[in-house]
Amino acid sequence: MIRRTARRSIALTTLICTALGVGGLVAASATTSPAVGAEAASHAGPPSARCHVTPPHSNAGATPPPFRCHVDSAYDAEILADSPSAYWAMSESATGAEPDLSGSDLDGHYTAGPGTTTLPNGDAAAVFDGESQYFEVGDAPELSPATTGEFTLEAWMRPDTLQFPNDQSSGYVHWMGKGTPGEHEYVARMYSYDNTEGRPNRISGYSFNLDGGLGAGSYFQDPVSAGDWIHYVLVINAEVKSAEFPNGYTKIYRDGVLRDQDDLSIRGNVIVPERGGAPFRVGTRDFGSFFEGAVGKVAVYDVELPADRIAAHHEAMTP
């Protein structure tokens, strides 16, 4: 796989991190004032076996910033144990950039300065204003279901309103996904409470043909409270077929539990995943709508993540 060689860099980076020590990392001093708070904790102090170094990036001729050390939480370790194709903790919105902790080097950047909040376990997450803020990673094969025919998208989401001010179409927001006109791939969607389809706060996920139109997808529709965290997992599998799901299927999980599974077709139209060139975004997909709320711990996998591992991820956040 494309990502396998790149991921070996995690082990090498960890060894370098351990060997260099605090001074070699040019990290913040371990004697930093407690007033700096938990946000600085992932960039200071001695590196450990769970240290991911983010190398400096700068324009030619400019003084590069120091190396940064993200120390994995117990939740991060649980995710990384399942070898994601890409993994963003979504904890660095204050810096404007977010490292890919998987080793695939798919680092992303934030636009318009999203804020920071905390997940149920105390880890940091990005919070979006629902107007113009988003996170973006450039197109890569690791981000496309077409690469292997199997794909899992995972995140923690927290809607901070039940009626989104910048929704689209019948009254929904695309809060995460990959797709632009002519290059549609997949999307995570949440409906406003009031919408023209009678789907109050439905949360769903869809796979599309590149030319768009109707997508095949799965959903759950439960009572939702603003400010509550939801563990969201979408599966797209075009490889495993059966009499019940002759074209493959989509699945959706809420809080570690499978809620829906559907054939990879819609009204007789079969969905065949193909790779487009659109970037992957969080907070919006293609600027048609913007999510007001928080998102953390975004991971993608080039396999269908087993149900027991999805449940384990949920339990790792909420023991």
pLDDT of amino acid 249: 99
Site of tokens 């040019």: 26
CA atoms of 39 and 280, how far apart (whole Å): 26
pLDDT of amino acid 72: 82
pLDDT of amino acid 67: 47
Q: What is the pLDDT of residues 34-50, one digit of tens each?
A: 333 333 333 333 334 45
Q: Which residues are CB-neighbours of 232 under 8 A, at least 6 positions away?
A: 154, 155, 156, 157, 188, 203, 205, 252, 253, 254
Regarding pTM above 0.75, the answer is yes
Classify residue 259 as exposed, middle or buried by CB count within 10 Å of its CB (0-12, 13-18, 19+): middle
pLDDT of amino acid 30: 31
Instruction: Name all domains of the chain by residue range, CATH numbers in brackets.
Output: 1-71 (no CATH), 73-317 (2.60.120.200)
pLDDT of amino acid 227: 98
Nearest to 173 by CA among 129, 126, 110: 129
CA atoms of 199 and 120, how far apart (whole Å): 27
Report yes or no: 156 and 317 within 8 Å, Cβ to Cβ: yes
Average pLDDT by stretches of 10, the chain with 319 residues:
45 38 34 34 40 47 51 92 98 97 97 98 98 98 98 99 98 98 98 98 98 96 98 99 98 99 97 98 98 99 99 94
pLDDT of amino acid 52: 60
CA atoms of 316 and 319, how far apart (whole Å): 6
